[in-house]
Amino acid sequence: MAFTELTDKALKTLLKGYDLGTLASFKPVSNGIENSNYFVTTVRPDGSGEHHWVLTILEQPSNAREQLASVLDHCDRAGLPVAAILHSNTGETFSSVAGKPAIFARRLPGYHVFNPTEKQCQALGRFLARMHIAGNGWAEELPAYPRDALWLENTAQQARAHISFTDGRLLTDTVQRLQALLSRGDINELPRGLIHGDLFRDNVLFNENGLSGVLDFHHASFGTLLFDLAVVANDWCSDSHGVLDPDRTMQLLRAYHAIRPLTATEVWFFGTFLLYAGATFWLSRLAAAIASKADSQRRVKNPEEFRDVVRQHTAHSLYLDQRLLEAS
C-alpha cells in the first residue's frame, strides 16, 4: 500500500488542474519504498480511449528538489526513455495532495527484470552513458550527491549499536578505507555530472523491444559518474551472495565505454567504487531499518544484501584491465 492514502474525491480534485481527462480508475503501487505512487487511468471526452499515468506523492524531498523537473526534461529532450513531469494547467510541475507535493508523469510500458541477461546489462550500460553525456553543461547546477565521507561516518556511528560485532568491524574498516579514498586529489578530479544514484532493477523497465523506461530520479544529483556505474554493477551484475558475475559486468562496462569512454583513472578505481557504492546502500538500508522501529509505515529493504556485497569487494577487490573494455 501507499504511505498516503488517496481518496477518489481528492484525486478528481487534483485532476481538475490538469488536461488529462476524467478519472476512470486508480490503484496504489505496492512496491514503493520512499514515496507513494499510484497508477491512474483517465479517459478523454474525444473518445481516444484510456490514458495511463503515474501519480507520485513525495513523502520526502528529492535530491534535485525543484530541479527534478528540469532533470527529466533534459533527459527527455536527449531522447532517453524517461517520463517527464507533466505541467498543470497553470504551468506548475508540482501540485499538492494531502498537504504533500505531488507530480504526474506518463506511465511507461514494460516490466521489471529480476535475473538480468547480458543483453539487458548492455542496454543499461548504453542508457547510463547516454544519460551521463546528456548532463554535460548543466548538471553542475544540481545539488551535490549527499552521501559523501561525512555522511558515511555519521550514518555508521548511528548504525554500529544495531549490528553485530563482526559486522561493526567490517563497517568501521570499510568507512575508514572510503574516507581515505574520498580525500584523494585524483578522486576529486574524476569526471562528474548528472547521476541517477539509484539505478536498481526495480527502477528500470524492459519490453520485447529492449529497455523501455527508467524511473525514480529522486536521487538524481551532481556526482561522480563512476559511482553511478558502480551502483548499477552491484545490483545488476551480482548474484545473491554479492559476487559479481564477470560476463554481465564486462558487457555492462563495454557497452558504457563504447559511448562514453572511461578514463584510465576511472578504470583503476572502479573496484574501489564498487565498495563505495555497496557501503552506501548497506548504510542507507541500516538507517532505514533503525528508523522503522519508530515508524511502522516505513518500508525497509534487507541491509544484509549489501553487507554481503561489501564483504565480497573487501575480500576480492576487482582489478579491471582497460584493454578488456576494447574487446569485441
> What region does 110 belong to: left with phi over 0, alpha with psi -120 to 50, or beta?
left
Separation between Cα atoms, residue 245 and residue 43, nearest integer Å: 46
pLDDT at res. 157:
96
31-48: average pLDDT: 85
Residue 117 predicted with pLDDT over 90: yes
What percentage of residues in the chain have a pLDDT greater than 70? 97
> What region does 228 belong to: left with phi over 0, alpha with psi -120 to 50, or beta?
alpha
Q: Cα dihedral sign for 125, 131, 136, 142? A: negative
203-226: average pLDDT: 96
For the chain, domains (ranges, CATH) are 8-106 (3.30.200.20), 118-325 (3.90.1200.10)
pLDDT in tens, 69-104: 999 999 999 999 999 999 999 999 999 988 899 999
The confidence band for 109, taking pLDDT boundaries of 50, 70 and 90, is: very high
- DSSP state string for 65-88: GGGHHHHHHHHHHTT-SB-PBPP-
pLDDT at res. 294:
67
Count of helix runs (H) and strand runs (E) in the chain: 11, 9
Distances (CA, A) of 313 to 82, 109, 241, 319: 32, 35, 11, 11
The crossing angle, in degrees rounded to 10, of helices 264-292 and 165-182 is 140
Residue 1 predicted with pLDDT over 60: no
pLDDT at res. 328:
58
Separation between Cα atoms, residue 22 and residue 50, nearest integer Å: 10
Separation between Cα atoms, residue 305 and residue 240, nearest integer Å: 8
pLDDT-wise least confident of 1-5, 24-28, 111-115, 189-193 = 1-5
Distances (CA, A) of 220 to 145, 155, 197, 198: 8, 20, 6, 8
Whose grid coordinates read 564483504? 311
pLDDT in tens, 239-290: 988 999 999 999 999 999 999 999 999 999 999 999 999 999 999 999 999 9
